[in-house]
Amino acid sequence: EKNLPDATTQMVCGFCGTGCNLNVHLKDGEGVCITPTTEYPVNLGMACPKGWEALSVLKSPDRAVSPLVKKSPSHWEPVDWDTALSLFSRKFKAIQEQHGADSVAFLSTGQMVTEEMAFLGALAKFGMGMVHGDGNTRQCMASAVTAYKQSFGFDSPPFTYQDLEESDVLVFVGANPCIAHPIMWERVMRNPHSPEIIVVDPRRTETAMQSTLHLQIAPKSDLPLFYGIANILIERGWINEEYIQAHTDDFEAFVTHVKAYPIERVVTETGLNQETIEQFAELIHSGKRVSFWWTMGVNQSYQGVRTAQSLINLALMTGNIGKPGTGPNSITGQCNAMGSRLFSNTTNLLGGHDFLNEEHRAKVADILSIPVDRIPAENSLPYHKIIEGILAGKIKGLWVICTNPAHSWINQGQIRDILDRLDFLVVQDMYHNTETARHADLILPAAGWGEKEGTFINAERRIGRVKRVTRAPGQALSDFSIFKLIAQYWGCADLFSEWKSPEDVFQIMKQLSAGQPCDFSGIEDYAEIEEQGGIQWPLTETAAKPPEQQRRLFADGQFFHSNGRARFMYSDPVKMPEPPNEQYPFVLLTGRGTASQWHTQTRTKNSDVLRKLYPNQIYVEMNPQDAAHYSIKPNEMIFVESQRGRLKARAFLTQSVQPKQLFIPMHYEETNRLTDAVFDPHSSQPSYKCCAVRVVKN
Ligand code: SF4
């Protein structure tokens, strides 16, 4: 009995963007075990394996427990915080003095609490004079962000999770929620309308196996497919003319554009048969409430923005938006991708503002009581341009916070080489031995989820609480505390005299959001967020209280462009940058392989339970037809090679992948040796999902 918990508190999970709430059971003030919260509107009493194991990954011998300074290529020595932060300031200042303020940049994350992201972005840009900083959200959400901004006038995913239960037709594109967002998928399973579940994906994923219609398209043929579907809907009069007239612009030009996608062309480009394509269009037409959901299969593409917008266009032209069970809905990946999108001070000025807009800069300067000339009047370089800047010798110092690009960035060999060219690399992380930390000159030990306070914003725009339920090990500090100390060592602490605690910053963020589409100035404080079970933005100061638990955007047909209308956005598909050829005859697909591991496994590999749920050894999914051609047996170790690198993997023979396609999960360190560094021209998001590879027998 003496080991039984004596208290319970609640907080939001720190892995995926679903934002499940967890009961953390405490013994003497320390979190000892977790159960899912039953009364929270997000997860309704459920959690996936990562949520159940969220505390155990904190107790790892790999935790960074003191600042570490590199003494040789393979040796780091522990130092105290004073030594570490003096070095941090001295090195970065010297680089800036010699090469200019923009010669030091930062790479941040969608994993820290929003208050820390805001502090980091403000400190780096307004305090330390940096111009360039980007987040790892560039790797997952940038295409959806740009698509929404161009189509709606603001980055505004319109949905609420209840929509998953209220649709009678759900279309999942390049998304595998069955394992990637398993608790959202439970909502689909609870849907009482016997919904049609349509999956568009080259792989027969776990979600596709449970669909009522799987469109197993050729890789990257989604854009012509959706233009072709739009053309069928228009030709047959299956569109909502009243909605289009009242609420959208540029439809006539879009009609002309999609005429170039007759069904014969779509058959050729997608590899689908005519009946399946027509059935898809008929299901969209016959549905009373149709919703479109997408994730990385759309976003991580050289044409991700236009593909996302082709789904937005389908929702607009059929009036499937602003009503229960509808919407063009991009699901976020990381626990706080949405916080990063609004407050990281990278792509947007704090609060979804624009660095290029003089009024916005003045507003932010006024709220923060800082001189307006401290705010850069230019946009940051996107992630890949920062990397190119290092290669070109323009960026000499880099501060990487809570992300692991040496594992996760596309074309890994190149990024690792580039990191080694820096004059000074600082990595601030929970773990001292990430692939990126192995390149660092200075490692700063950070507290993780469960060891600090703040808020996350989930995929349905719900702001939820994160709490300190256990002590960080050794000298590790919350990122918030590290930023406060850096401000002191840098000599700009007076700019942040009001930023005393995460909740102080939350109050500042409320002011920054006021008047924006993401206005949440109506939220009182942390206590109200907890009482309400999280609160979705927007919630203005004049909004009704208590807020409804589930709210979607655009119920009034008003969008965020100055004329209040949405825009049809489109352009012709471009060719696959690296199509398969004689030398490299396979298309490589990458993606999530399991519900039990998270991204680069930095945290989840530290759980015994989670490790047992997923193979430690890298594997490659291959169609048995190809295996027979190459005389490859099940479980045989083979090499997979691209023009950029090679890896050795166990052959997993399965009909899930089509012939001449391979799939390798992203969780393994080796995967991005193969991927090709090409990017969407509008969003700068990397195209992880297709490159040409070959297999070689061991
Ligand atoms: Fe956490 Fe996502 Fe799992 Fe929910 S579904 S428990 S938020 S990882």
Condensed to tens digits (0 to 9), the pLDDT of residues 356-385 reads: 999 999 999 999 999 999 999 999 999 999
Q: Determine the straight-line distance between the first and last CA of the chain, rounded to whole angstroms.
A: 56
| pLDDT band with cut points at 50, 70 and 90 for residue 594 | confident
| pLDDT band with cut points at 50, 70 and 90 for residue 317 | very high
- Please list the residues that pair with 665 across neighbouring strands: 591
Half-sphere exposure of 681 (CA within 13 A, CB side): 5
What ipTM did this prediction achieve? 0.99
Q: Are 440 and 427 in contact (CB under 8 A)?
A: yes
- Please list the residues that pair with 693 across neighbouring strands: 586
Q: Are 695 and 307 in contact (CB under 8 A)?
A: no
Q: Taking Cα atoms as reference points, which of 584, 605, 581 lies closest to residue 594? A: 605
Q: How far is it, in rounded angstroms, from Cα 478 to Cα 492?
A: 19
pLDDT at 596 over 90: no
**How many Cβ atoms are within 10 Å of 73's Cβ, its own excluded?**
8
Report the residue among 11, 12, 15 best suited for mutation to probe ligand 1: largest number of ligand atoms under 8 A from its CB. 15
Q: Are 136 and 109 in contact (CB under 8 A)?
A: yes
Q: Are 447 and 438 in contact (CB under 8 A)?
A: no
Q: Same topology for domains 68-140+335-536 and 586-697, yes or no? A: no
**How many Cβ atoms are within 10 Å of 503's Cβ, its own excluded?**
14
The reported pLDDT for the residue numbered 413 is: 86
Overall average pLDDT of the 112-135 stretch = 97
Give the residue extent of every domain in the chain.
Answer: 68-140+335-536, 142-330, 586-697
Q: Are 481 and 47 in contact (CB under 8 A)?
A: no
Q: How far is it, in rounded angstroms, from Cα 39 to Cα 21?
A: 9
Residue type, 442: L
In the chain, the percentage of residues whose pLDDT exceeds 70 is 100
Mention the CATH class of domain 68-140+335-536: alpha beta
**CA 485 – ligand 1 centroid, Å:** 32
Give 401-432 pLDDT, tens digit per residue.
999 999 999 998 889 999 999 999 999 999 99
Cβ(149) – ligand 1 distance below 6 Å: no
Q: How far is it, in rounded angstroms, from Cα 577 to Cα 362?
A: 42
Mention the CATH class of domain 586-697: mainly beta
The reported pLDDT for the residue numbered 597 is: 87
556 token code pair: 């009034």
Q: How far is it, in rounded angstroms, from Cα 582 to Cα 692?
A: 10
The reported pLDDT for the residue numbered 200 is: 98
Residue type, 181: H
* 3-state SS track over 340-389: HHHHCCCCCECCCECCCCHHHHHHHHHHHCCCHHHCCCCCCCCHHHHHHH
Q: How would CATH label the architecture of 142-330?
A: 3-Layer(aba) Sandwich (3.40)
Cβ(596) – ligand 1 distance below 6 Å: no
Give 470-520 pLDDT, tens digit per residue.
999 999 999 999 999 999 999 999 999 999 999 999 999 999 999 999 999
**CA 577 – ligand 1 centroid, Å:** 34
**CA 52 – ligand 1 centroid, Å:** 9
pLDDT at 1 over 70: no
Cβ(333) – ligand 1 distance below 6 Å: no
Report the residue among 12, 16, 40 best suited for mutation to probe ligand 1: largest number of ligand atoms under 8 A from its CB. 16
Q: CA of 233: how far to CAs of 212, 279, 339, 399, 641, in Å?
A: 21, 12, 36, 50, 42
| pLDDT band with cut points at 50, 70 and 90 for residue 2 | confident
| pLDDT band with cut points at 50, 70 and 90 for residue 598 | confident
Give 605-644 pLDDT, tens digit per residue.
899 999 999 888 999 999 999 999 999 999 999 999 999 9
Residue type, 649: A
* Closest residue to atom 2 of ligand 1, CA basis: 16
Cβ(48) – ligand 1 distance below 6 Å: yes
Q: Taking Cα atoms as reference points, which of 658, 676, 567 lies closest to residue 216? A: 658
